[in-house]
Amino acid sequence: MMRSFVNARIQFFGAGILTVFLAFATSGCSRSPRVTFYTLEPGAEVGTAAAATAAPVVAVGPVTLPEVVDRPQFVVRVAANRVDILETHRWAEPLKSEIPRLIAENLSRLLGSSRVSSYLQHAAADADYRVLVDIQRFESAPGEAVTVEAVWSLRRVAGGAQKTGRTLVREKVEASGYDPLVAAYGRALLAVSSDLAKAIRAEAAVEH
């Protein structure tokens, strides 16, 4: 009788300990880290211009990226040969669609044309110019700087030689945290857009 009583007490306390353990485990699993999502925005110094009568029709894209940064998570460089992938800081949309959208918006303002779109938004069959961009570096060091290196090409859809160029930008991050880092990326991509706008204007001047 005594042995049965002792076994019953052991089973009771064992079950109690297991219940408490499971409660803590469940509580820990339910407190997953909060994920913050970010979007790229046009450079602040881009002014909105009135659309010209003969404003060019431009299709932007596709844009290619290094595989290491072609992911939702932020990728930050922490050493010459090492990066960190940040699970709790992510892009709100794939960079392959967000970067051409941003460049298209910048070009629209820089060229004073409402007829600039990213390749993924629509085919832009009536485009005067098609822009392709190969992002070769899209790197950041939080609190320090971002580096964007892009090789781009510009071709008139109706025919003509392809014009190519390269833009390398190192943009200082103005404060700690990830919002200033994203803003620096926006300014760097504005520099890429500005070089493209100059190339488009030069081509348009030659044709006329």
pLDDT tens string 48-59: 444 444 788 999
Total of domains in the chain: 2
> What own/partner pairs with CB < 8 Å and gap ≥ 24 does 153-162 have?
154/129, 154/130, 154/196, 154/199, 154/200, 154/203, 155/129, 155/130, 156/128, 156/129, 156/203, 156/207, 157/127, 157/128, 157/129, 157/130, 158/128, 160/203, 160/207
Q: Quote the CA–CA distance of 33 and 86 in Å, as a whole number.
A: 11
Same-domain check for residues 18 and 116: no
Same-domain check for residues 18 and 41: no
CB 64 within 8 A of CB 133: yes
Same-domain check for residues 83 and 185: yes
Q: What is the CATH number of the domain that holds 88?
A: 3.40.50.10610
Same-domain check for residues 54 and 21: no
pLDDT tens string 51-95: 444 788 999 999 999 999 999 999 999 988 999 999 999 999 999
Q: Considering only 42-46, 71-75, 106-110, 171-175, which range has the smallest mean pLDDT?
A: 42-46
pLDDT tens string 113-166: 998 998 755 655 678 999 999 999 999 999 999 999 999 999 988 777 789 999
Domain of 9 in residue numbering reads as: 1-32
Same-domain check for residues 13 and 102: no
